[in-house]
A and B are shown apart, each in its own frame.
With several copies, the nearest count.
Chain A
Amino acid sequence: MPPTATTAPRQNRIGLTVVDYRGGKTTLCAGCGHNAISERILEACYDLGVASERVAKFSGIGCSSKSPAYFLSRSHAFNAVHGRMPSVATGALLANRHLLALGVSGDGDTASIGIGQFVHLVRRNLPMVYVVENNGVYGLTKGQFSATADMGSVLKGGAVNDLPPIDTCALAIQLGATFVGRSFSGDKKQLSAMLKAALVHRGTAFLDVLSPCVTFNDHEGSTKSYAFLKEQVEPLQEISFVPAFEDIAVDYDPGTTVAVRMHDGSQLRLRKLEAEYDPSSRSRAVARLLESAGEETVLTGVLFADPDAPDFLTRLGTVEAALATLPERAVRPPRAALDEVNASLR
């Protein structure tokens, strides 16, 4: 769209302005990576013309889990208990399969206390966007290591982590997630494209987004600081996203670029920076991630995508309408049914 000369605020394809996608004022620290991610989410929803009323935001507990309050205030939200966002989101989607579920969690919330529910959510391929804002620490409780902290990373007080990190992406790929990526809160372009793809994906779209905690984990010796990440982040691809409502027919070179056709007809274009990387193979993706374990390099990009796998809700074979609001006649069997039951028990 060519920029217009008037001062009327820009509108997206459903006639809303960016302001309509805003949330409350953040109460996170200035400079916190999480704030940048909130911005990207808000923008991605604006750009895609997502109807906020269809969105349900979910989170657990932590600084990261507070962030759904800071975007999309027109969407319902459920800030659950620590580590238990997956089950709450599952329940809500069971009740209403038409919700667009957008979850934000932290590395502590997901990889420490929440790893069990995470594993099972991923295994079910529950259709939702699941973002982990990964800073390697528990921000809200003042900076203890989480289970994604790297070996050898040092806390402000000097403590050194000597346990291997859980690679939530490798785990998600291994266990059945159908769209998995890793990004960095500082990489606007990559993160935006990946968020958009995640939003249109039908299945578990898991994004591990490195998101420095400026207050407790942004110092020398930390492997989750801005400085460290700026140095070590290594994109596997250059990513662009062409929404279904735009013209897909723009050229690309199939030799260097993989085009992933998303469920809704959008296209995700991955211009390869690491030639051999193949985001369509679970086993090779996991192997590549495990090989890089222990290295300082942080691979980012779309790690795995299988846009057509059946999702959990589809597999359940429920009626098209939301179960939550089915009328009484649809859910209370008729008198004859009870008569039949009574007869069978006589």
Chain B
Amino acid sequence: MTNDVTLQVATANGSGSQSSNTVLLRSLFQMGIPVSGKNLFPSNIAGLPTWYTIRASRDGYVARKKEVDVLVAMNPETARDDVAALPPGATVIYDAPLALEGSRADLVYYPVAFDAVVEPITGEAKLRKLLRNMAYVGVVARLLDIEMAEVETAIGRVFGQKARARDLNLAAARAGFEAAGRLPRRHPHRVARMDATRGKIVVDGNAACALGALFAGVTVVAWYPITPSTSLVETLSAYLRRYRHEPDGKATYAVVQAEDELAAMGMVLGAGWAGARAMTATSGPGISLMSEFAGLGYYAEIPGVVFDVQRVGPSTGLPTRTAQGDVISTALLSHGDTQQILILPGSVEECFSLSIEAFDVAERFQTPVFVLTDLDLGMNNWMAEPFAYPERPMDRGKVLGKDELEKLGGFARYRDVDGDGIGWRTLPGTDHPRAAYFTRGTGHDETAAYSERSDVFTANMDRLARKIDGAREALPAPVLRGGGDARVGILAYGSSDPAVRECQDQLRAEAGLATDYLRVRAWPFSRKVRDFVAAHDRVYVVEQNRDGQLGALLRLDLPPEHGPRLRAVAHVTGLPLDARSVTDAILARERS
């Protein structure tokens, strides 16, 4: 049982446990052990229960694992329930006054008198409360064989310049480590140094998207705060401040906190129209509020990038839980016949690289592009390869400048001169008397003039359909895992990726079931998606929503005779997806 352990820490939010958990995560990472962390926090600021799960996996599995091996029970409010939920044989480290030892006979108990442990460190009661949380780090380190040196490095890193805080926390961790030395060791789990994280980084998806936007050369950011997207823009702002000022101090970007999401989207369209790389970030409720503008963007053909860090809906829903529930409503966002391009990163690496692509796609296709991530991907920490510098120059799309206009003698904004459905545009401010055109959400002809004519309308709508259809192969292509020759396929996207990979291994190991797994990364779908379905008898579409939303888009896209091959594995619990649930669901269907 080395390097295969899931640890859960139960505390209250606002109690400083976030730092402790980061220290644990980083210590394992520094020991070269693949690790992942999932923060389960409530939608308030302080005092409500929080759980943090850390999984160390020698096999590199980073999906959430439902079965907890070691529980650190610090929260009196949830301790009994937390213990009740453990599998037999699990280990419980707990604050001694909680007296959990009687609750179940099939567990290993380690009571620790945390108050006593931290008592010697400081006289300040408030501080002691925080330090209790660093004390459990020491206890866990001792019991799991995490190297104290790495813990100390991690503490140094987390507390950075704040010398006093660092020293106090070091003391607390050591005190916990000492205290745990007196516990008789009766549990099987331990970790040991590996070499599986060398060169890797640890980062959350929101930061990765922010960095993508930064290196995409975003210039206008308009946003309105909403969990779980807030940190995307806040991180981006920090990076912009660092990397996007000229020597004279002037900024090459503008970040504006708008009054709401309607305004944020309006600003994005205004800026995109005027030629900027513009973006916003939001979550479900914001997407709903952007509906009207999204239709304008589609119909008037204006670039812009919208990050939707999905949380659990409908409505306000569970703001601090993860889901993939905005897929279909975003793809069809707005009244009338609309189609919005979706980009679906499946890792923090892709949060970076596909965000860069999103800006290219938006300008190339002159349309809003929605990058859908979710709370799990966006707010949790993930191991990743270092971000790769973009090799391709920016694609700013079809823009006519003064000189081209002079040569051409004019242009027609919505004329399909290149056969790809994409017209040429000019930017306001272009110093040429023929540069101007009139942008509107009402019916218009090729020259952008107002028109109510049926034939003009229909031709324009057909061109729009062609344009979006033409994006299929220009969008990030789906990624295949498996030989491609299995009879059973799995199709998934976004943050489901690690669970599905692990599930594939479980299916093979437990039931001898070989599968191919296609990870979709955009809508409209590449034709490879159809081919994948065509090549498999059954395709399980795994997603984190109730209604099987991507599956629905897929069914509408497939040749109808392939519809019967699809099987939905669609659930939303608010928790990051785990492999076991998917494996069980697939096996149940395979066996029935």
Contact = CB atoms under 8 A, between A and B. Distances in A.
Q: Do the two chains touch directly in the complex (Cβ atoms below 8 Å apart)? A: yes
Interface of A: 24, 27-30, 51-54, 56, 61, 63, 66, 68-69, 73-84, 86-96, 98-99, 112-113, 115-117, 119-120, 138-142, 144-145, 147, 215, 316-320, 322-326, 328, 330-333, 335, 337-338, 341-342, 345-346
Contacts of B224: 112-113
A146 to B, nearest CB: 9
Contact of A342 (B243, B270, B296, B386): B386
A235 B350 CA distance: 56
Contacts of A115: 259
A105 to B, nearest CB: 13
Contact of B14 (A73, A140, A215): A215
B61 interface: no
A212 B42 CA distance: 22
B433 interface: yes
Interface stretch (B91-99, B197-205, B485-493, B565-573): B197-205
Which among B252, B259, B292, B449 has the greatest number of chain A C-beta atoms within 10 A? B259
Interface string B281-322: 000010000001100100000000000000000011000000
Given A74-B436, A81-B316, A112-B260, A91 B266 contact: yes
B201 A113 contact: no
Contacts of A30: 46-47
B225 A53 contact: no
A80 to B, nearest CB: 7
9 contacts: A54-B429, A88-B267, A88-B269, A95-B278, A99-B428, A113-B224, A324-B429, A326-B252, A332-B390
Contacts of B253: 318, 323, 331
Interface string B38-59: 0000111111100000000000
Contacts, number: 275
A56 B215 CA distance: 29
A73 B260 contact: no
A322 B259 contact: no
Interface string B402-445: 00000000000000000000000011111111011111111000
A78 B285 contact: no
A79 B203 contact: no
A103 to B, nearest CB: 11
A338 B432 contact: no
Contact of B442 (A79, A95, A119): A79
A116 B224 CA distance: 15
A116 B261 CA distance: 12
Contacts of B239: 341
A345 B440 contact: no
Contacts of A320: 250
A119 B47 CA distance: 35
B433 A53 contact: yes
Contacts of A53: 429-433, 435-436
B382 to A, nearest CB: 11
B172 interface: no
A91 B271 contact: yes
B256 interface: yes
A176 to B, nearest CB: 14
B275 interface: yes
